[in-house]
Amino acid sequence: MTAPKKLFVKTYGCQMNVYDSERMAEALGGQGYEQIDTAEGADMILLNTCHIREKAAEKVYSELGRLKTLKIDNPDLKIGVAGCVAQAEGEEIMRRQPAVDLVVGPQSYHRLPQMEAKVRQGEKALDTDFPEEDKFALLKTRPKARRAPSAFLTVQEGCDKFCAFCVVPYTRGAESSRPVARVLDEARNLVERGVREVTLLGQNVNAYHGAGPDGADTSLAQLIWALNDIDGLERIRFTTSHPNDMTDDLIEAHGTCDKLMPYLHLPVQSGSDAILKRMNRSHTAESYLRVIDRIRAARPDIVMSGDFIVGFPEETEADFQATLDLVEEVKYGYAYSFKYSTRPGTPAAERPQVDPDVADERLQRLQALITRQQQEIQAGMVGRVTRVLVEKEGREPGQMVGKSDYLHAVHIENSDAAIGDVVPVRITQAKRNSLAAVRHEQS
Of 135, 265, 343, 362, the one binding ligand 5AD (CB under 6 A) is 343
305 binds ligand SF4 (CB under 6 A): no
Contacts for 361-368 with beta carbons within 8 Å, 24 or more apart? 362/310, 362/311, 362/315, 362/320, 363/310, 363/311, 363/337, 363/338, 363/339, 365/320, 365/324, 366/308, 366/310, 366/320, 366/323, 366/324, 366/327, 366/337, 367/337
Of 309 and 322, which has the nearer Cβ to ligand 5AD?
Answer: 309
Of 80 and 169, which has the nearer Cβ to ligand 5AD?
Answer: 169
Q: How far apart are CA 147 and CA 144, in angstroms?
A: 9
204 binds ligand SF4 (CB under 6 A): yes
Give the type of residue at 163: C
Q: Residue 193: phi, psi to the nearest 5?
A: -95, 10
Report in angstroms how near the CB of residue 166 gets to ligand SF4 at its nearest. Answer: 3
Q: Residue 336: phi, psi to the nearest 5?
A: -115, 125
307 binds ligand 5AD (CB under 6 A): yes
125 binds ligand SF4 (CB under 6 A): no
191 binds ligand SF4 (CB under 6 A): no
341 binds ligand 5AD (CB under 6 A): yes
Q: Which does 162 bind (CB under 5 to 8 A by kind): ligand SF4, ligand 5AD, none?
A: ligand SF4
DSSP string, 234-251: -EEEEE---GGG--HHHH
Of 87, 171, 206, 269, the one binding ligand 5AD (CB under 6 A) is 269
Q: Compute CA 172 distance to the chain's CA centroid, rounded to the nearest angstrom.
A: 14
Q: Which does 52 bind (CB under 5 to 8 A by kind): ligand SF4, ligand 5AD, none?
A: ligand 5AD
Q: How far apart are CA 224 and CA 187, in angstroms?
A: 11
Q: Which does 272 bind (CB under 5 to 8 A by kind): ligand SF4, ligand 5AD, none?
A: none
169 binds ligand SF4 (CB under 6 A): yes
What residues between 149 and 168 interact with ligand SF4 by CB under 6 A? 159, 161-163, 166, 168
Q: How far apart are CA 341 and CA 234, in angstroms?
A: 39
Q: Which does 343 bind (CB under 5 to 8 A by kind): ligand 5AD, ligand SF4, none?
A: ligand 5AD
52 binds ligand 5AD (CB under 6 A): yes
Of 166 and 236, which has the nearer Cβ to ligand SF4?
Answer: 166
Q: How far apart are CA 424 and CA 76, in angstroms?
A: 52
152 binds ligand 5AD (CB under 6 A): no
Q: Compute CA 137 distance to the chain's CA centroid, rounded to the nearest angstrom.
A: 21
Q: Residue 126: phi, psi to the nearest 5?
A: -135, 130
Binding site for ligand 5AD (CB under 6 A): 52-53, 165-166, 267, 269, 307, 309, 338, 340-341, 343
Binding site for ligand SF4 (CB under 6 A): 159, 161-163, 166, 168-169, 203-204, 242
